A and B are shown apart, each in its own frame.
Chain A
Amino acid sequence: MNSEHQKGYDIYALGDSAVTIEFGKNIHPEINDQVIARLKQFEEKPIKGIIDLIPSYHSLTLCFDLSTIAKQKMGLNSLIDLVKSYLEEPIKLQHNSSKLHEIPVIYGGKNGMDLLRVSQEKGISPKEVIRLHAEPTYRVYMLGFIPGFAYLGELHQALSMPRKSIPQPMIPGSIGIAGLQTGIYPSFSPGGWNIIGHTDYPLLKDDMPMLQAGDRVKFIPQNQV
C-alpha cells in the first residue's frame, strides 16, 4: 500500500484510480487551508488524466482516468511521484480572505423542530442555544453528502449532539447540528442532524452550490424564541 509520511502529509491510493493526500490527522482550519490551497493548485495546473478533485476536512483526493494512468510506465506510482513534486512547490495559504455569506435564520418553530429538544438535553435555554450557534464565523470545510451540502465548523462544544438514530425528511434550508458540526440542507433529503432553524438564503443556483469549500458563514438570527 502506498503510504508515506513526510513533510507534513501522507499520500495513499484510494482504489486503482485515485490518490488521496492527507495534510493532518484532525479537523483544523490551518489543515483545511492547505487542502483548499492545494485544490486550487491542481485546478490551475491539472495533471494529465485528472477527472475530479475531492477536498475534505483534512485531505484532497485526485481522481484519474484509469486508461491514462495504466498506459504510463509505472502506472499510478508514477502519478504519485508527480503529485509529490506538486507538493514540493511552496503554496500561499489564504486565511479568512474568502467569501463571507451572511445567512438569515429563523430559529425554532415548525422548521426548527429540534431546538427545544436540544435546549432540554443540553440544559441551556433556547435563547442561549441560538446565541452560541450564531456567535462564531464558521468555515465551510467541505461539500459532500448531497450536492451543495456544506459542512461548517466548529460548533460550540456546549451544543454537541449525536445524530438522530433514524434519518428524517428534511426540507431545503433546514439548519442542523451534529457533533461539532453545523450544516444546511440545500434540497429535500433524508437526514439525521438535529434541526434548530431554517433559512431562505439561496443555496443552489442552477443546481450549483453557492457555498464553496473555504468560504465563511455567519448566521444572523431573525427572531426571538
Chain B
Amino acid sequence: MSLIIHKAGILDALQHFGVKGLQSKGIRPGGVMDQFSASIANALVGNKLNEGLLEIHFPACEIIFTESCLISIVGADFTAKLNEKYLPINRPILVPVNGKLQFVAPKSGKIVYVAVQGGLAAQGRLLKNTIIEFKTKPKLNSSNLVICPWSAKTDWQKYTPEIHVIQGREWERLNEESQRKFCCKPFKVSHHADRMGYRLQHEPFDTRTKEEIISSAVNFGTIQLLPNGQTIVLMADHQTTGGYPRIAHVISADLPKLAQKNPGDEVVFHLTDQETAEKEWLTQQAHVRQIQNISQLKLNEFFQKNSNQL
C-alpha cells in the first residue's frame, strides 16, 4: 500500500499546506507553492482540499505504485506517461498495480502536483527509494489504466504575464520613474528562482533614499527591493522577517500563477487594491469548491457504474 520513488527528481517533496502559528518563533509556514493547482489535484480524487501531496519539478522523479489507486496530475504539464501511455493533466486517473509514472518533457508551467486518493502519510523530500505509505487502503483493484472522462478547468489561471500587486509599506522609496517602470514594463524571472524566492531581471530601480529599515515581517508574495536596485518576490519558503524595503505584495489569488513561471518567463505587474484582491480570491476559492463538489458527484457515479470491474 504505497508508492516508491523509483528515480529521484531534482526538487521533489511530499508537500503540506503550510505550518501555521509558529512564525513568532521564526518558523516559516512553508507549504505548497501553487495552492490553486494543489487544491484542485486533491478535489479531483475526492480528498479534502489541503491534503498532503507530491510537489514535483522538472526533471521529475519516477514513481511506482505498488497498489492500484486513484491519482490526479495538476499544474505544470510535463508530459506524463504511465507504463508508456500518455496521460492528460486535470483528470482523475485509475492507476493499475505496479503502474510506473514518468514525466518526459516539460511543456508548460513549473510545478506539477500529484494527489492520491485518501492522502499520503509523512512528508519530506522524495529521494531515490523513498517509500510513501497511503493513509488509507484504496478500495480499488484494477489491472488496467483508466482515465476518467471528465476534467477540471484550470487554464484561465495560467500563462498570461499579468500579476496583480498591492503597494507595500516602502513603495514610496521608488522614485517616480521607477514606480512607472515597475507597473508596466515586462520583467523576466531570473534563474535564481526557488521555493524561497523568485528574483526578477530588470534595470536597477532608483530610490529616493538608501536608509535601512528595521527588520520586520514579510509574507508569501512580498516584493523586496535589494540594495543593488534588483527585486525578489518571496515565495512559500520565505523567512519570517526581513530588512529590505517591501515595495509591493503580489495578491494571494495571483501567487499560483507566479509560482508556475519558469526562469525566462515574463511577468508584468499591475497595481490593484485590497477590494479587488479579496474579490479575486473568493472567485478562485469558489471555482475550486465547485470542482470539488462536481468531482465528488462524478466519482460516486463512476465507481457505482464500474463497481463490477474495479
Contact = CB atoms under 8 A, between A and B. Distances in A.
A and B from one complex: yes
8 contacts: A17-B219, A52-B20, A52-B22, A67-B285, A71-B282, A145-B240, A148-B25, A212-B25
Interface residues of A, number: 46
B169 A12 contact: yes
B166 A54 contact: no
B281 A53 contact: no
Nearest to A149: B26
A39 B281 CA distance: 28
B216 interface: yes
A63 B167 contact: no
Nearest to A147: B27
A151 interface: yes
Q: Is the interface of B mostly helix, strand, loop or mixed?
A: mixed
Nearest to B26: A143
Interface in B273-310: 274-275, 277-279, 281-282, 285
B249 interface: yes
Nearest to B164: A16
B278 A1 contact: no
A54 B214 contact: no
B246 interface: yes
A17 to B, nearest CB: 6
Contact of B249 (A15, A56, A59, A63): A15
B221 A151 contact: no
Chain A binding surface, main DSSP class: mixed
Contacts of B282: 67, 70-71
Given A143-B24, A208-B25, A16 B249 contact: yes
Given A15-B252, A56-B217, A63-B23, 8 more contacts: A3-B169, A15-B166, A15-B219, A52-B22, A57-B214, A67-B282, A147-B28, A213-B24
Contact of A20 (B216, B239, B278): B216
A16 B279 contact: no
Nearest to B249: A15
Contact of B166 (A13, A55, A209): A13
A186 B241 CA distance: 17
A56 B251 contact: no
A147 B25 contact: yes
A47 interface: no
A27 B214 CA distance: 8
Contacts of B29: 52
Given A20-B216, A63-B219, A144-B241, A14 B246 contact: yes
Interface of B: 20-29, 166-169, 171, 214-219, 221-222, 239-241, 246, 249-252, 274-275, 277-279, 281-282, 285
Q: Which of A52, A69, A149 has the most CB of B within 10 A?
A: A52
A151 B215 contact: yes
Contact of A59 (B23, B216, B252): B216
Nearest to B278: A70
Given A63-B219, A143-B25, A145-B241, A14 B169 contact: yes
Contact of A51 (B20, B27, B169, B240): B20
Interface string A210-221: 001100000000
Contacts of B20: 51-52
A76 B217 contact: no
6 nearest CB pairs, A to B: A15-B249, A61-B217, A143-B26, A144-B241, A70-B278, A16-B277
Nearest to B275: A75
Contacts of A59: 214, 216-217
A116 to B, nearest CB: 28
Nearest to B248: A15
A67 to B, nearest CB: 6
A143 B26 CA distance: 5
Interface string A165-197: 000000000000000000000000000000000
Given A1-B171, A145-B239, A147-B25, A16 B281 contact: yes
